């Protein structure tokens, strides 16, 4: 089994350059409650359909940081992405729960954050 790198909320908040691509793999129903600011929404079950789009977003220099509610699904997503050749991928440790517990807020602006290709992939 592939090893998944975990990134803490604090480490993500400190930031790095270039800024990592932040992907929320929760369901649409879950993201209605808000997303981490700057994140793009891509439900876990649609990940295989959007690999080319993810590769284009990451390019050669950006890291992909994936999160869900608690970190379990995003760890699964990271393993899948690594198996598909996207190696610069980290799991946000504790997911949205850790984000909120650290006193940070979610953004309600989820409509423009969808990464799912137009045409309903």
Q: Is 101 exposed, middle or buried (0-12, 13-18, 19+ CB in 10 A)?
A: exposed
Structure tokens at 105: 């807020």
Evaluated on CA atoms 50, 53, 55, 58, the torsion sign reads negative
b/e 37-67 (16+ beta carbons within 10 angstroms → b): eebbbbbbeebeebeeebeeebeeeebbbbb
Active-site option among 41, 68, 78, 89: 68
**Can 68 be counted among the known catalytic residues?**
yes
Contact 68, 96 (CB under 8 A): yes
Give catalytic residues, as residue numbers.
Answer: 68
């Amino acid at each position: 089994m592939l090893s998944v790198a975990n990134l803490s909320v604090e480490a993500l908040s400190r930031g790095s350059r270039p800024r990592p691509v932040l992907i929320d793999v929760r369901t649409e129903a879950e993201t209605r409650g808000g997303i981490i600011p700057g994140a793009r929404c891509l439900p876990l079950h649609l990940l295989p359909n959007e690999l080319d789009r993810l590769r284009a977003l990451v390019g050669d220099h950006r890291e992909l940081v994936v999160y869900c509610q608690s970190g379990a699904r995003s760890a699964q997503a990271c393993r899948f992405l690594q198996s598909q050749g996207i190696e610069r991928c980290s799991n946000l440790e504790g997911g949205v729960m850790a984000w909120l517990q650290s006193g940070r807020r979610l953004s309600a602006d989820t409509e423009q954050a969808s990464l799912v290709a137009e045409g309903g992939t």
